[in-house]
Amino acid sequence: DSGVTQTPKHLITATGQRVTLRCSPRSGDLSVYWYQQSLDQGLQFLIQYYNGEERAKGNILERFSAQQFPDLHSELNLSSLELGDSALYFCASSVGRASSGANVLTFGAGSRLTVL
């Protein structure tokens, strides 16, 4: 158990639907990162939050949005789902400043999304 909790572990839904993935960071960690891993794309960085504020953005689609709440948990919202959104979605957390080359990320076990 890494200390980063992601729910749900598995999710099956239909195209056009909307889902919410939830992440609870390790106790004491202020930064949360979201990654998408599909078979043909590898691990793609989506977005980072630090203490409730967005700090870095990657290849996140406009149909996707995220936020970090005052209790530091984060949610990734995926809407108008397409078949290509089927992937593993990982959340990671780190302690310390928003930007530090020495920051070590701790990853959760992931949420597997299947869009039919």
Partner 1 sequence: DAKTTQPNSMESNEEEPVHLPCNHSTISGTDYIHWYRQLPSQGPEYVIHGLTSNVNNRMASLAIAEDRKSSTLILHRATLRDAAVYYCILRDVGPPAQGLVKAAGNKLTFGGGTRVLVKP
Interface contacts to partner 1, rule CB under 8 A: 2, 4, 31, 33, 35, 42-45, 48-50, 53-56, 58, 90, 92, 97-110
Least separation in angstroms between CB 105 and partner 1: 6
Handedness of CA 47, 5, 111, 40 (dihedral sign): positive
Cβ nearer to partner 1, comparing 14 with 99: 99
Cβ nearer to partner 1, comparing 18 with 57: 57
Rounded Cα distance, 116 and 108, in Å: 25
80: left (phi over 0), alpha (psi -120 to 50) or beta: left
Least separation in angstroms between CB 63 and partner 1: 20
